[in-house]
Amino acid sequence: MVKFVWIFLFLFLAAATPASPYTIEVINTDSTRGGGVNFVVDGANYNGYAGAIFGRFDGGSETLTFFCVDLFTGISLGTYGTTPVTPISATAQARVAWLYENQLSTVTSANLGRGFQLAIWDIIHDGGDGVSAGRIRQRTGSNGTPAAVVTAWNNYLNVSLGQSSTNASIYRNFDLSSGIPVQDFIGPYQFIEGEIPEPSQWVLMATGAGVLAFRRFRRRRAPPPAA
């Protein structure tokens, strides 16, 4: 029984593995929905771009809007490999997916874009613990995080609390020549045929299908009833 389930799991994963990577072209940042901002990272003052990013998926002509979900890994303009994946429900990524799906339309200024991005980083890296706690915090003082950005940051944390969605995709990006990971994005949902399920789903699907197949095998091999 155990051997059969593991054989099924191996075949299932082999069939689910995508044959080739997709691509994402990072075109530019969006100065109308983002910009440079001062904040604190791991106790040190930091200044960097926070906001919307323009890109195209897999050679398409449509310009799409993305946001970063990994502050600690860089990316530049150019074309990269990518694998869009569906967030697991009730996780930080699913909360960010809910924000992208339901609140992106409210990002109508540079300050709102900065606040939206900072809220995403706060959720991903700190669990959404607020502007004054964790690795990512507001900067205070004369060169601090602008009040309008902090207000937007707080608002996006509050409105997304307890929310979850799988109707956006996490784009796991990597350098095409070296395969080294680069910055991941949140962006429009992409249905990817053959997407590998999350580990918790592997066990459920493989075990359930394995048990069903084993039961059918036993029925075929069952001895005839006694006369």
Both tokens of 5, joined, read 């389930």
Model pTM greater than 0.95?
no
Give the pLDDT band (50/70/90) at residue 192.
confident
Q: Please report the pLDDT score of residue 208 as a whole number.
A: 43
Q: Which band of pLDDT confidence, cut at 50, 70 and 90, is reported for residue 210?
A: very low
159-180: pLDDT as tens digits: 999 999 999 999 999 999 999 9
pLDDT (tens digit per residue) in 91-141: 999 999 999 999 999 999 999 999 999 999 999 999 999 999 999 999 999
DSSP codes joined into one string, 71-108: TTS---SEEEEEEEEPPPTTSHHHHHHHHHHHHGGG--
